[in-house]
Chain A
Amino acid sequence: MSRVAYYPGCSLHGTAKELDSSFVSTAARLGVDLVEIPGWECCGNSAAHAANRLLAAALPANEMAKVKDDMGLERVAVPCAACFVRFMATNHEVQDSETARDVAQVVGRPYTGGVGVLNLVDFYHDEVGLAALEAKVTRPFAGLKVAAYYGCLLTRPPKITLAEDPEYPTRMDEVLEVLGCKPVAWTFKTDCCGASLALCEQAVVIELVRKIIANARACGAQAIACACPLCQVNLDTRQGDIKRVDPSWADMPIVYLSQFVGRAIGVSDHDLGLKKHMVPVEALLA
């Protein structure tokens, strides 16, 4: 059994509780011991780097210093894509000695990198591994057509995320395939859904969401798989607004990758948090 630190982040304790519960229960079944970072704080999200770059680098450094020095662990699972990119950015930025010196002053101790950061896709693809995951599948999907949606921050910018194929990634598709799903080829895999504007520029956001879901549907998808709590909430909640303008709009279920995994390996509906969605997903994952 491997041991990995766990950084839930603010969303997983709020709007994305089903990502937290489905992730934690799949990890347990897949033999990974998750240890939550004690007293974890916000990673600074997209607000910090637009206001104080040093604080933006220091907040994840504080968490990773705990992982390395206090918990004695080498890797941290960060299922929120927006947190993930901030952790990766810190690992990149502390390679600069001046930044590392300032970060050490802010955090109160040095952190110069070395903690591996796993996003939701990395966790299943690499930490668990596709073969080990396949061996645990007891309830495979019968060829359900799924559009794997990566959004922005799982892969961009690649010098930070180290994504091999940032324009057309396939690693989430590979995980879905192991579960018996049939990933579709589609156009909007890595397009932005506008989630950061969700609270204030509704017209922009609704149009971005509409384009993404319409393309997934046109390419044959019956559901969209997400690995980011901001994308999921945005794509799930904005369909009601689209429907008010376009009554012919058909609902598209927006499901976390961890919920697909959990359903396939026998996690309970309660732990998968199926009732937390706006567009119903129970029938799809029954």
Chain B
Amino acid sequence: MTTIDATLARRVNRGSGENAYKCYQCKKCSTGCPVAGFGDLHPAQIMRAVQIGAVEAAVDSRFIWLCTGCETCTTRCPQSIDIAAIMDELRMIAREEGRVRSDVPFANILKLNYDSFRRWGRLYEVELLAIDKVTRPSGFTDDVAMGIRMFLKGKINPLPTIGDRSQMKRMVQVADRINRDKRAIVRAMDLPADADMASSGRGGAS
């Protein structure tokens, strides 16, 4: 059964500041999207799903984990919707609700990337790759030869390079706390009803 969650567009709006209802389905985002042909849906369909609250179509789509963040959709949208920011928001909702699908390797890479710079202050690529190989066995043999060639050319550091780790640690703690509090408030504000987003202030249609 398809779930229609009438609050989806409003949650996306509160998190990203973007109003999905401004989309009138011209599909310019999809024609310019480099990965529209590789996923289950394309960006205009995701926008439609957000509008009608088709939460499974939007949040559980493979597409949101194929989006490269190239910003072509955002640049070309005649309604000036930051569509890439909506994809980011759908990823955050998927993580918060524990519904990241298992067949989207980019979700794992993004998480390891995020963990890596938060832990070391800078990206530590060897560790990131090693953990990805262990946690995602289907990609175990991918690009091993290429990795070795790059290592031999001195392009991959065996050890992390370190900046100001204590400042990174402090910033991560404060940012996590503020972010967690704000998102909790936003979730608590979501009534299960059909409130009209046009009257909800920020990002409202005018």
A55: B residues at CB distance < 8 A: 171-172, 175-176, 179
Do B178 and A105 touch (CB < 8 A)? Answer: yes
Q: Which residues of A contact B111 (CB under 8 A)?
A: 47
B124-166 at interface with A (beta carbon < 8 Å)? 125, 129, 132, 136, 139, 142-143, 146, 149-150, 153-157, 161, 163-164
Q: Determine whether B31 belongs to the interface, using a CB cutoff of 8 Å to chain A.
A: no
Q: Provided the pairs A14-B125, A106-B174 are in contact, do residues A194 and B146 lie with their beta carbons within 8 angstroms?
A: no
Does B121 lie at the interface of the complex (its beta carbon under 8 Å from any beta carbon of A)?
A: yes
Report the interface size for chain B: residues with CB under 8 A from the other chain. Answer: 58
Instruction: Among B66, B109, B132, B178, point to the contact of A106 (Cβ < 8 A).
Output: B178
User: When A14-B125, A50-B91 are in contact, do A41 and B167 touch as well, CB less than 8 Å?
Assistant: yes
A12 to chain B, nearest CB (A): 10
A153 vs B70: C-alpha distance when bound (angstroms)? 7
Contact across chains for B117 and A44 when beta carbons are under 8 A apart: yes
Instruction: Decide: B168 and A41 in contact? CB cutoff 8 A.
Output: yes
* Distance between Cα atoms of A54 and B92 in the complex (Å): 13
The distance in angstroms between the C-alpha atoms of A30 and B125, with both chains bound, is 33
Q: Is the CB–CB distance between A62 and B175 below 8 Å?
A: no
Of A49, A106, A195, most buried by chain B (CB within 10 Å of CB) is A106
B117 touches A15 (CB 8 A): no
Q: Are B156 and A39 in contact (CB under 8 A)?
A: no
Which residues of the other chain, A, contact B35 by a CB distance below 8 angstroms?
A: 192, 194, 197, 204
Whether the pair A50, B88 counts as a contact (CB closer than 8 A) is yes
Q: Is the CB of B178 within 8 A of A14?
A: no
Are B72 and A192 neighbours in the complex by a CB distance under 8 Å? yes
The answer to the question of A52 belonging to the interface, with a C-beta cut-off of 8 Å to chain B, is yes
Q: Is B51 an interface residue (CB 8 A)?
A: no
Partner of B66, one of A42, A201, A278: A201
Are the C-beta atoms of A45 and B123 separated by less than 8 Å? yes
User: A138 interface residue, CB < 8 Å from B?
Assistant: no
Q: By the criterion CB–CB under 8 Å, are A54 and B178 in contact?
A: yes
Contact of A14 among B110, B155, B176 (CB under 8 A): B155
Closest residue of chain B to A39 (Cβ to Cβ) is: B164
Report B-chain residues with C-beta under 8 Å of the C-beta of A275.
Answer: 153
Instruction: List which B66-105 residues lie within 8 A (CB) of chain A.
Output: 66, 68-72, 74-75, 82, 84, 88, 91-92, 95, 105
On whether the beta carbons of A52 and B179 are closer than 8 Å, the reply is yes
| Residue B106 interfacial (CB < 8 Å) | yes
Chain A: CB-nearest residue to B76: A167
B residues less than 8 Å from A38 (CB atoms): 164
A203 to B163, CA, bound (A): 35
Closest beta carbon of chain B to A95's beta carbon, Å? 14
**Is residue B122 within 8 Å, beta carbon to beta carbon, of the partner chain?**
yes
Residue among B105, B106, B111, B117 having the largest count of chain A Cβ atoms under 10 Å? B117
Contact A278 B149 (CB under 8 A): yes
Chain B residues with Cβ below 8 Å from A204 are 35, 38, 66
Is the C-beta of B108 less than 8 angstroms from some C-beta in chain A?
Answer: yes
- Asked if A170 CB lies within 8 Å of chain B CBs, one says no
B68 touches A197 (CB 8 A): yes
Task: Give every chain B residue within 8 A of A107 (Cβ-Cβ).
Answer: 171
> In the assembled complex, which residues on chain A have CB atoms less than 8 Å from the CB atom of B66?
197, 201, 204
Q: Please state if A49 and B150 are interface contacts (CB–CB under 8 Å).
A: no
A247 to B175 alpha-carbon distance, docked (Å): 50
Taking CB atoms and an 8 Å cut-off, the chain A residues in 44-76 that contact chain B are 44-55, 58-59, 62
B24 in the interface (beta carbon within 8 A): no
Candidates B74, B92, B153; contact of A156 at CB < 8 Å:
B74
15 residue pairs of the A-B complex, CB under 8 angstroms, read A14-B123, A14-B161, A42-B117, A45-B117, A45-B123, A54-B178, A58-B175, A105-B174, A108-B170, A157-B71, A157-B74, A166-B75, A199-B109, A200-B106, A201-B106
- Known contacts A47-B111, A167-B75; 5 additional CB pairs below 8 A are A15-B125, A41-B167, A106-B175, A152-B68, A197-B35
**Hey, which bits of chain B sit against chain A, CB under 8 A?**
34-35, 38, 66, 68-72, 74-75, 82, 84, 88, 91-92, 95, 105-106, 108-111, 113-114, 117, 121-123, 125, 129, 132, 136, 139, 142-143, 146, 149-150, 153-157, 161, 163-164, 167-168, 170-172, 174-176, 178-179, 182
